[in-house]
Structure 1
Amino acid sequence: MTEEFITFEKFNDKHSAEELGQILKETNIEYLLENNSLSFDPTFANNGFGTEYCLKIKKEDFKKANEILLKKSEKEINEIEKDYYLFTFSDEELIEVVSKSDEWNKFDVTLAKKLLKEKGIDVSEERIKKIEEQRILELSKPEENHKGFLILGYISAFFGGIWALFIGWHLLTYKKALPNGNRVYTYSKEDRKHGNRILIIGIIFSILWLLYYLLK
């Protein structure tokens, strides 16, 4: 069985994704590049809306890849212009960049740490480790408030059709990737039970409706 590749970073343009892929390739890290962009632009603006490229690597390579990008960012910081937008951030905003590092690129996180350190704010390895652990705990929590989604699922299930099967399967099995490479269920145990019921009801009613139309 092929080892699973997990999303490491997402990009809005193919060039940036390929650039990172090349860096990983040079350090013997296997990767996959997936184009998850929308095939149709509802805005008709041709402005990249819905464009998303996912660069995936194996879970075992997450630590090595992060270390490589960290070293690259540290070198680039010495060449940064003083009009870079991060220099206008307040202490609170810089701390948020560090504490939510999964939402920012490695360069911005590294620069934020440097700026905070220059201001005398503690960004020691020990504190960063605690921040990262707390962030993992937060991201591991299941998403909530899906009543509308559940109602739609049950309604779709009684009418049969692909929507019911999709919603049920999605609620039951969908997982999200954490910054450390681990994957956890996106929805709570209770929501996954609902997903299982919707899936079963959807299958049953799909068969019943099919028999009805065939007999009719």
Structure 2
Amino acid sequence: MLPRHDVAFETNSGRPAFDVTCANHETSTHFVVKLHPQDFEIVRGLEEAQNQQLIGQVSPDHYLFTFTDEELIDVLLKPNEWNGFAVTLARQILQDRGKLISSEAVLLLRKQRTADRQVLAYSASDRVHGLRIMVLGVVMVVVLVCFRIYSAT
């Protein structure tokens, strides 16, 4: 599909050349498609169009049809935890149920969700202590360089 739309891409298996475990695990193989940054939106649009075509072929017993509205909204908010088709189907199911959610609203909710999940790894006192250690290290390097220059003359 990408060559038909003049999108430059490169593919590889994502598998390392040497398996350090020597176990040759086929389940750890990933398929990687590399794109230019400016082509991401084009490819997302192509994927969305492909998913829209596939929605007409979905069987009525697909598991997403059993989801509640809240669960479907959760699929929209966490697209990285779902495949693209599931996200598109969730949006379509919500629309069929009369729940219209705009793309802008989904983006705002995703940004809010990202901000809510941001957790600092260290406490405030630990960060201040780290800053003190860094400043002391820089001061000691400057003192050492000055001492070397002074003792060399």
Band of TM-score, shorter chain: 0.5 to 0.7
Shift of 1:57: 0.7
Cα shift readout 1:62-110 (whole Å, capped 9, x = no counterpart): 1111111111111110111112222222323211211111332221111
Matched, 1:81 2:59: yes
| Unmatched tracts of structure 2, length 5 or more | 123-129, 138-153
Matched, 1:117 2:95: yes
Shift of 1:122: 3.6
1:1-216 → structure 2 map (5 Å cutoff): 23-37=1-15, 40=19, 48-134=26-112, 144=121
Contact between 1:73 and 1:106, CA under 8 Å: does it hold in 2? yes
Contact between 1:41 and 1:49, CA under 8 Å: does it hold in 2? no
Give % identity: 27
Shift of 1:121: 2.6
Shift of 1:37: 2.7
Cα shift readout 1:157-192 (whole Å, capped 9, x = no counterpart): xxxxxxxxxxxxxxxxxxxxxxxxxxxxxxxxx7xx
Q: Residue 30 of structure 1 aligns to which amino acid in structure 2?
A: A
| Unmatched tracts of structure 1, length 5 or more | 1-22, 146-189, 198-216
Q: Residue 56 of structure 1 aligns to which amino acid in structure 2?
A: K
Shift of 1:144: 3.9
Q: Which has the higher helix share?
A: 2
TM-score normalised according to structure 1 size = 0.47
Q: Residue 79 of structure 2 aligns to which amino acid in structure 1?
A: S
Matches of 1:134 and 1:103, distance apart in 2: 17
TM-score normalised according to structure 2 size = 0.64
